[in-house]
Amino acid sequence: MRKPRMKVEHRGCYYHLTNRLSGPRNSYPLTDVDKEKGFAMIRELTSYYLLEIISVVWMGNHFHVVLYAPSADELPSDAEIAKRHNEFYGTRRPNIDADDREACAETGRQMIDISHFMRVFQQKFAQYFNRMHQRRGGLWADRFKSTILEQGEALWSCAAYVELNPVRAGLVQDCAEYRFGTWGRYCGSGRHPFAEHFVRHMRAWLGEYAADWSDEQVMKRFASRLARITAYERGESSEDIEHAAQKAKQKNSMPLRFLRRTRHWSDGAVIGSKSFVQETAALCRESREAVNRQFSRGETDITGPLHCFKRLRLG
């Protein structure tokens, strides 16, 4: 029997969500048109859901989404919830009344629930894909995967991991060239599809010294991060890259590969500092299990160690 999905509900939480199409592992059925449609669907659903999208990347047989799910305390007023619901569905569903507190509360919970969002999105995309490709049956290989991310290094590193997928797959030399990722769209047009959320959440970790930074400065900081990782993985020489490479060689568990192609971002369940992983896991599992469990540990090139709830082989 599958365990319940690990979700944080008493406070806002960052997640990495991903799923893969069914079929042979080396099959890449998603066309450029399909990827474009997937992007459009996610953007359309953000006019209903209150989930704050940070990064999205579509590949040939799977997709990635990094987002922030607000807590119930962050919900807007009942009037705003009712307005959002009614405008999105129009005549397709019965309207709800702003005075119906129970209906508004239930609708508000749906608007911040990653499971509800993914169920609706995956159903819509499967219907589109089957219709376009004249197929029938299930589209997705399994239920979607979700990993809880701590704000800060875990969030920054996961967003970089997601945006660098097309580089590691050999599709482009620079993720800025890949138009089916949010970073590529920003670099190609000067407009990030989810700029408001991306900048706000990325700036929050940078701290007080970045409080007065412009959006462009935050973007440049992230661009620098992507360039550093890409250069490292290409084996290019610089003092910083060499330093990171030496640190990686000294670790056997999960060194700089935390920033690279690793299962931990998809299957790790919770990623962050040791205290964050323990506290978050205790909310979803037995406290004793969370406290006594030995976590995977890895190094990053900036702030030091990150921990992962699940112990996974690097592969």
Residue 253 has pLDDT above 50, yes or no: no
pLDDT value, residue 33 = 94
pLDDT value, residue 60 = 96
| Residues 1-55 pLDDT 10s | 677 888 888 899 999 999 999 999 889 999 999 999 999 999 999 999 999 999 9
The SS3 assignment for 183 reads helix
| Residues 153-196 pLDDT 10s | 889 999 999 999 999 999 998 888 899 999 999 988 888 999 99
Residue 22 lies in a domain: yes
Identify the CATH number of the domain in which residue 150 sits.
Answer: 3.30.70.1290
Three-state SS annotation for 256-281: HHHHCCCCHHHHCCEEECHHHHHHHH
Q: Which domain holds residue 23?
A: 13-75+112-308
Between 304 and 133, the more confident residue is: 133
Residue 103 lies in a domain: no
Q: Of 244, 222, 232, nearest to 155 (Cα)?
A: 222
Our count of domains for the chain comes to 1
Residue 277 lies in a domain: yes
* In contact, 162 and 264? CB cutoff 8 Å: no
Residue 104 lies in a domain: no
Model pTM score? 0.79
Residue 118 lies in a domain: yes
What is the DSSP secondary structure assignment for residue 60, as one 8-state letter? S
Between 75 and 289, the more confident residue is: 75
pLDDT value, residue 131 = 96
Reported as a pLDDT band with limits 50, 70 and 90, residue 120 is very high
| Residues 54-84 pLDDT 10s | 999 999 999 999 999 999 999 999 999 999 9
Residue 248 lies in a domain: yes
Residue 233 lies in a domain: yes
Give the separation between CA 24 and CA 37, rounded to whole angstroms. 22
> Within the chain, how many helices (H) and strands (E) appear?
13, 7
Residue 245 lies in a domain: yes
